[in-house]
Amino acid sequence: MNIQWYPGHMAKAKRKILEELKLVDIAIELLDARIPISSRNPDVDEIVGNKKRIVVLNKSDIADPQLNNEWKEYFEKKGITPIMANAAKGTGLRDILKESKRLMKEDLDRLRSKGLKHKTIRALVIGIPNVGKSTLINKLANRSIAQTGDRPGVTKSKQWIKVNEDFELLDTPGILWPKFDDETVGLNLAFTGAIKDEILDIEDLARKFILKAITDFPDKLYKRYNVELESDSDVECIMNKIGRKRGCILSGDEVDINRTASLILDDFRSGRIGQITLEKPEDIL
């Protein structure tokens, strides 16, 4: 399954972010806790450069708790204090503000020593599409300002948002990179909804998700859909069983495979199949 998506606005967004970086003190890099490798744009290191950085693992509530701990240890060994968050519910927001002040303490102390009593910390939020950037900003600001949506590509333009007297955020469009060298990365991004479903073969994507589920978390798949997996590893058969159990039926008693595929992917993305992480730290070569 060939997954590539780098529309023109992605290159434009990258250029815009590079221009705006000179205006900010901190870059807040938002990752999907379910796919910390795949959701980390390899261009971000180059884009952010030497700017102070906070890594936020969003959607950690629907990720595997044990793997959340393993990822936390991984980043700490890299000298980064990761913050586990759930932007939709507001979990981890205080930690983001606290870490921002910690990172800026030396700079603020130096400015105070020169007579400047107050400086607003300005941070840029960066990440791939649909990772929760605008939701995070709205929760931090405690009001709906940044545009949000459950599909990638909602944020279109620069928005400065005042969180409090000490902190401002810059929302940025989600950016992907020009080419996925590893098919697994493309699939993980597609599974989690970072790539628009409209350009994908949803049925094929759902089949590949089931293949992964059979190998990595069969118990969760069985618990959600009550389908036997041990004696049947045929993906098409499993799709038909799920579709029939969930009432995805066309005229003539035929299973609606497209509707079934959408149901399976929606169930994963919303956490209804369970707390699932698709990547482990040891997957990093």
Tell me whether residue 130 is annotated as binding: yes
Tell me whether residue 174 is annotated as binding: yes
Asked if residue 208 lies in contact with residue 180, where contact means CB atoms within 8 angstroms, the answer is no
Q: How far apart are CA 238 and CA 182, in angstroms?
A: 27
Q: Which two tokens stand for residue 262?
A: 């959408």
Tell me whether residue 133 is annotated as binding: yes
Tell me whether residue 58 is annotated as binding: yes
Tell me whether residue 132 is annotated as binding: yes
> From the annotation, which residues make up the binding site for GTP?
58-61, 130-135, 174
Provide the annotated binding site.
58-61, 130-135, 174
